[in-house]
């Protein structure tokens, strides 16, 4: 476990032959995790739109016209209802996001009750609410919040090209408050925003410098939303994205590396390579805050094809039922595939028989 990676060392990892890099990442991954287990989370936007930040990638920013309307903070009962549905679908962690620069006092009281109610279901809880100070972090921890998400987004050097309303130091300070309060840290970044390869290495260096490493590291592929300044950014090479997943796994051996936003645009082969490179967490469901996500049926089918299964969470009181639900879904998908194969074979035999009689 290192926190002193030099930038030239990280760039040397990125420069390895692809097969060598994935082999090294796999060895690290297998030393710390079940290589076929994937942690499953569900993300819900509890307050959408009109954010005062100017993040150039974000459709929720009030600075850009993306057609996204402002919505009020969701009612607590609706959040709990969504959490129950996520749990029934197999999620072990429920993440809630609000488009704020930082939470106001009257909103924080509501959010704290959301945490308590979702936690009571037996789910892990995660929130992203913007910047929080030490007192706010402490109150969230007391309510039972397990994880707090606050991404670094990109390298310190490229950060000013993406955001001007919040400094890099602000982001690091929020992560310090979260850690000091005793919560687990979820922090990652976004690739494909026009950054140079060195910026991707520098982002991972910043994350690996955190001591301890973030328990969860979401690696996002830019979702190019019309109306945002980055809507016409050239696509990132999928191989470059997979390299970043592998390097993240090597630098932060015990972290869950999450294949996060952008999965909707990835084909199954790219996702399979990401899991091979060390990704072992996904968001599950149809939306990520305001952008689409691969539908649940597609995820179940992909898990079945790759022989993956949801990671067990021993502290989750309803884990057995959640696991059973996902296993049943995967088994149903396999059964459907078997029926389709049998039908195809029967059609082939009938065609062959007809051809033979015609001859």
Query: Which residues form the catalytic set?
Result: 51, 55, 58, 95, 126, 186, 258
- In three-state form (DSSP H/G/I as H, E/B as E, the rest C), the secondary structure along the chain is CCCCCCHHHHHHHHCCCHHHHHHHHHHHHHHHCCCCEEEEEEEEEEECCCECCCCCCCCCECCCCCCCCCCCCCCHHHHHHHHHHHHHCCCCEEEEEECCCCCCHHHHHHHHHHHHHHHHCCCEEEEECCCCCHHHHHHHHHHCCCEEECCCECCCCCHHHCCCCCCHHHHHHHHHHHHHCCCEEECCEEECCCCCHHHHHHHHHHHHHCCCCCCEEEEEECCCCCCCCCCCCCCCCHHHHHHHHHHHHHHCCCCEEEECCCHHHCCHHHHHHHHHCCCCEEECCCEECCEECCCHHHHHHHHHHHCCEECCCCCCCCHHHHHHHHHHHHHHHHHHHHHHHHHHHHHHHHHHHHHHHHC
């Amino acid at each position: 476990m290192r926190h002193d990676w030099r930038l030239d060392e990280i760039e040397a990892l990125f420069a390895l032959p692809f097969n060598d890099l994935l082999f090294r990442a796999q060895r690290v991954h297998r030393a710390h995790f079940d290589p076929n287990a994937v942690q499953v989370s569900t993300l819900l936007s509890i307050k959408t739109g009109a954010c005062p930040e100017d993040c150039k990638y974000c459709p929720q920013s009030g600075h850009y016209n993306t057609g996204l309307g402002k919505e009020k903070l969701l009612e607590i009962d609706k959040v709990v209802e969504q959490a129950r549905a996520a749990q029934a679908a197999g999620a072990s962690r429920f993440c809630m996001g609000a488009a704020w620069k930082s939470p106001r006092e009257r909103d924080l009281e509501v959010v704290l009750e959301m945490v308590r109610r979702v936690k009571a279901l037996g789910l892990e809880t995660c929130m992203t609410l913007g910047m929080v100070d030490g007192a706010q972090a402490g109150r969230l921890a007391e309510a039972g919040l397990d994880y707090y998400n606050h991404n670094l987004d990109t390298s310190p050097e490229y950060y000013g090209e993406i955001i001007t309303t919040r400094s890099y130091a602000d982001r690091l300070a929020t992560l310090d408050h979260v850690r000091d309060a005793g919560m687990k840290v979820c922090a990652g970044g976004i690739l494909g925003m026009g950054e140079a390869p060195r910026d991707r290495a520098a982002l991972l260096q910043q994350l690996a410098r955190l001591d301890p490493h973030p328990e969860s590291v979401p690696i996002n592929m830019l979702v190019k939303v019309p109306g945002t300044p980055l809507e016409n950014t050239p696509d990132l090479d999928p191989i470059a994205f997979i390299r970043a997943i592998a390097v993240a796994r090597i630098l932060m051996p015990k972290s869950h590396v999450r294949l996060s936003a952008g999965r909707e645009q990835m084909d199954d082969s790219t996702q399979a390579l990401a899991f091979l490179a060390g990704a072992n967490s996904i968001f599950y469901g149809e939306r990520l805050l305001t952008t689409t996500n691969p539908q649940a049926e597609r995820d179940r089918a992909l898990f079945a094809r790759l022989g993956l299964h949801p990671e067990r969470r021993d502290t989750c009181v309803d884990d057995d039922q959640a696991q059973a639900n996902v296993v049943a879904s995967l088994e149903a998908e396999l059964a459907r595939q078997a029926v389709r194969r049998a039908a195809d074979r029967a059609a082939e035999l009938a065609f062959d028989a007809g051809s033979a009689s015609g001859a």
